[in-house]
């Protein structure tokens, strides 16, 4: 009998919304002058983002000159209730009590503290004292997929369910004006947003069977995407060459992943692609030969939420699951520092039966 793990429940939690227009005119427009303002404006309004989510909105509270210590203290205050809401919703969706979990894994690259989210939420959600905990930091936008792989491996090996939480508060890492004028910072501030997403993974059962998680890392491009800890928060480095690197590798990753399970691209009816930005989605669509409908959900996630780092691909998965006719086969793709590409194949229980 084949052993597999299933995605049995998903939960999402997001802070209050702010439109891209509001955040540009209400804050960022006043911090750029002359030609730089025109450039920044074009970047903001070509980012594919309509609405952002901010636990700490610059319209209400300017954190640009806060120390990293002050930002980390605020991270704990904001991330705990947001993470708790997402995790509770995932458990409810899966019909599972928190005290039945065998593993609780947390991915976050935007904040650190001890005791961390894994400890505090295990306590607040009523997990058993013997639950195993894992905290993964600084993997960035692709962290959800190795997190899923770890949860699945545990569920299969131990025969117990696992919970994965991805929680990011990029709004806490607004940079000072003298740094913010850098082109890479303009792009970062135009795209990134806050969210939490949680997934329950069970040994077998109903839901989406997790067939495989695959990865490729191009070590020659390690400097293309960085996330540096500074005295004034964490600073993003984002090379414009990132889409070119994805173009080199994404087709090979997807073809190999699917071929190992006797599946072709045309057999996949659900695509949850991390929307790092419009160019990222354009490259994926072009290299995989997908039509506009295939990436419509990923583009809508970018428009409605922005790039929320690690939770974003799970936001797209949740949107696919909520369709009137959910897809039977789903490929999740996410990209981040390394440069690293991750892909995951999910198949619904109706396909695997």
SS3 state at 281: helix
User: What contacts 86, CB < 8 A, 6 or more positions away?
Assistant: 11, 12, 13, 165, 167, 196, 197, 198, 311
308 in catalytic set: no
Report d(CA 278, CA 53) in Å as an integer: 18
Q: Which helix (H) or strand (E) holds 195?
A: strand 194-203
For residues 225-248, b (16+ Cβ closer than 10 Å) or e, as one string?
bebeeeebbbbbebbeebbebbee
**Residue 87 CB neighbours (<10 A):** 31
**Residue 224 CB neighbours (<10 A):** 18
Task: Tell me which of 107, 109, 141, 308 is the catalytic residue.
Answer: 141
**Phi, psi (deg, nearest 5) at residue 46:** -115, 15
Query: Which tokens is 231 given?
Result: 């005295």
Q: Alpha-carbon dihedral of residues 18, 20, 26, 32, nearest 10 degrees? A: 140
**Phi, psi (deg, nearest 5) at residue 47:** -80, -5
* DSSP-derived secondary structure for 139-179: -GGGTHHHHHHHHHHHHHHHSS-EEEEEEEEGGGGPPPHHH
Report d(CA 43, CA 41) in Å as an integer: 5
Q: Which residues are known catalytic residues?
A: 141
């Amino acid at each position: 009998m084949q052993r597999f793990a299933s995605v049995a429940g998903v939960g999402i939690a997001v802070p209050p919304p702010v439109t891209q227009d509001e955040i540009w005119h209400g804050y960022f427009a006043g911090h750029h002058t002359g030609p730089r303002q025109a450039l920044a404006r074009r970047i903001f309004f070509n980012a594919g983002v309509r609405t952002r989510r901010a636990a700490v909105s610059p319209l209400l509270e300017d954190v640009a000159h806060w120390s990293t210590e002050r930002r980390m203290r605020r991270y704990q205050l904001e991330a705990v209730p947001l993470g708790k809401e997402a995790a509770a919703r995932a458990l409810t969706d899966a019909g599972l009590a928190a005290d039945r979990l065998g593993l609780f894994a947390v991915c976050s690259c935007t904040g650190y503290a001890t005791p961390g989210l894994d400890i505090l939420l295990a306590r607040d959600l009523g997990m058993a004292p013997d639950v195993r905990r894992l905290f993964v930091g600084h993997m960035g936008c692709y962290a959800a997929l190795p997190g899923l792989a770890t949860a699945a491996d545990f569920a299969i090996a131990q025969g117990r369910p696992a919970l994965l939480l991805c929680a990011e508060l990029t709004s806490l890492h607004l940079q000072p004006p003298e740094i913010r004028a850098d082109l890479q910072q303009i792009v970062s501030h135009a795209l990134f947003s806050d969210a939490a997403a949680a997934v329950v993974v069970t040994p077998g059962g109903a839901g989406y069977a997790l067939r495989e998680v695959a990865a490729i890392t191009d070590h020659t491009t390690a400097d293309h995407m960085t996330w540096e800890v500074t005295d004034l928060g964490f600073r993003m480095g984002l090379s414009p060459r990132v889409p070119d690197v994805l173009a080199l590798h994404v087709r090979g990753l997807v073809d190999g992943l699917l071929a190992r399970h006797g599946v072709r691209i045309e057999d996949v009816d659900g695509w949850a692609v991390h929307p790092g930005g419009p160019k990222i989605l354009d490259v994926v669509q072009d290299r995989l030969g997908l039509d506009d409908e295939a990436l419509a959900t990923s583009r809508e996630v970018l428009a409605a939420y922005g790039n929320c780092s690690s939770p974003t691909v799970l936001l797209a998965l949740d949107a696919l699951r909520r369709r009137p006719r959910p897809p039977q086969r789903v490929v999740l793709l996410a990209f981040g520092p390394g440069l690293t590409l991750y892909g995951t194949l999910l198949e619904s229980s109706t396909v695997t039966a």
